[in-house]
Amino acid sequence: MGPGEAYDAKAIGTEKHEALARWETYQETGEVVSNDAMTEWLDSWGTDAEKPCPVK
């Protein structure tokens, strides 16, 4: 963390909890969003044709 950045333990705890929940779901289902779908979505950022976030 750099100078002047606030440390928000609650937010970090929430993010960690969400990441662990996603990991557990992946382990159970094996479902993922493909790299191609993510790349296509990210490439659309900042364009007039921005795409919605891909879902599994």
Q: What pLDDT sits at residue 24?
A: 95
Alpha-helical runs (H) found in the chain: 9-29, 35-44
Query: What phi and psi values does residue 31 have, to the nearest 5 degrees?
Result: -75, 135
Say if 3 falls within a structural domain. Answer: no
Residue-wise pLDDT tens digits, 4-55 = 566 788 888 899 999 999 899 999 999 989 999 999 999 999 999 999 999 8
Quick check: is 54 in a domain? no
Question: Does residue 4 fall inside a structural domain?
Answer: no
How does residue 1 score in pLDDT terms, banded at 50, 70 and 90? low
Q: What per-residue confidence (pLDDT) applies to 42?
A: 97
- Whether residue 1 is contained in a domain is answered as no
Question: Is position 29 within any domain?
Answer: yes
DSSP state of 54: P
Give me the sign of the Cα torsion angle 20, 17, 40, 43: negative
Domain assignment present for residue 38? The answer is yes
Task: Name residue, tokens 């990441």.
Answer: 19
Question: Is residue 50, in this structure, part of any structural domain at all?
Answer: no
Within a domain: 49: no
Q: Which domain holds residue 23?
A: 9-44
Q: What angle do CA 23, 28, 29 make, to 5 degrees?
A: 100
CA 13 to chain centre: 16
How many domains does the chain fold into?
1
